[in-house]
Structure 1
């Protein structure tokens, strides 16, 4: 994978750069793929459902509203994502089981951690435009992530 800084130097303003500082919590630091999205608040049923389907190397970008009140992904959902060939998950919210997530061959970026479970009601929206910081994530765009950050653009 091309480093995000090198990609920025090459493509510049055709990309968007996420300014929010997310923590690297997965076993893969460098990851990229086609964007899929979910908007949900303290409810991870849709995340579990989507990550249980074939990912084909995609990255699920989750707008959890920046809430750290409960976790949206843990080790079981993370393991499902690995089994189903997802490249990574970017979460504007919290995760749990961070030690176990760190052992998985999965990129995970999130605001932080919280051991508290989320609701399982299925509230939210799938494959809609979402905004994290000042960056719009459109389903089908391409996202690249590494230790320096996250950039989004066309493949």
Structure 2
């Protein structure tokens, strides 16, 4: 999959933005990980202060996908840490976007994976295994579906119904 500059994608696809086929996430996510630019088909996950399913996803082959975790925007614990960042790298995930917090930032920044999160938090999450996989999620006013495409770079994050080329 080719790298797409977010600004170029937005400029070239104004009609898709107007129709909602491309959604631009608000600039609320911090940038982590070695991969500052990443893209791929989306796998969705909805959890709350529990990262058991996050680990299960990242233990599987990523095949260049991006895991988008709707953690409800919780600021009470981290859903991804250094060990999970290493799993994502080792299993071929292009990136992880967390509507919530991460921890072990120095370790994550050493991983060859793109990571976006709202903030960092030192506390680990609970381990109950609750959540939903491959479901539509809502993050910062945008609906995101499993199988759509995510593109991220220093200018932002966009979600597209289809793979883009510019």
TM-score (norm 1): 0.98
CA distance in 1, matches of 2:69, 2:27: 14
CA distance in 2, matches of 1:149, 1:53: 27
CA distance in 2, matches of 1:2, 1:63: 24
- Counterpart selection for 1:57 from 52, 58, 64: 64
CA distance in 2, matches of 1:138, 1:56: 18
- Counterpart selection for 1:126 from 127, 133, 150: 133
CA contact (8 A) 1:21 1:149 kept: no
CA distance in 1, matches of 2:26, 2:122: 26
Coordinate RMSD, CA, aligned: 0.8
Q: After superposition, give the CA deviation of every residue in 1:46-93 in whole Å (9 maximum; x if it has no partner).
A: 000011000100000000000111000001011011111000000000
Aligned-residue offset at 1:135? 1.1
Query: After the TM superposition, which segments of 4 or more aligned residues of structure 1 sit over 3 Å from their partners?
Result: none
- Counterpart selection for 1:9 from 1, 8, 11: 11
Is residue 43 from structure 1 mapped to residue 45 from structure 2 by the alignment? no
Q: How many residues align?
A: 155
Aligned-residue offset at 1:20? 4.2
If you compute each CA radius of gyration, which structure gives the higher value, 1 or 2? 2
Is residue 94 from structure 1 mapped to residue 101 from structure 2 by the alignment? yes
- The SS at the match of 1:66 is coil
CA contact (8 A) 1:16 1:152 kept: yes
TM-score (norm 2): 0.91
In structure 1, runs of 5+ residues without a counterpart are none
CA distance in 1, matches of 2:133, 2:112: 24
- The SS at the match of 1:62 is strand
Counting strand residues as a fraction of each chain, which structure ranks higher? 1
CA contact (8 A) 1:22 1:110 kept: yes
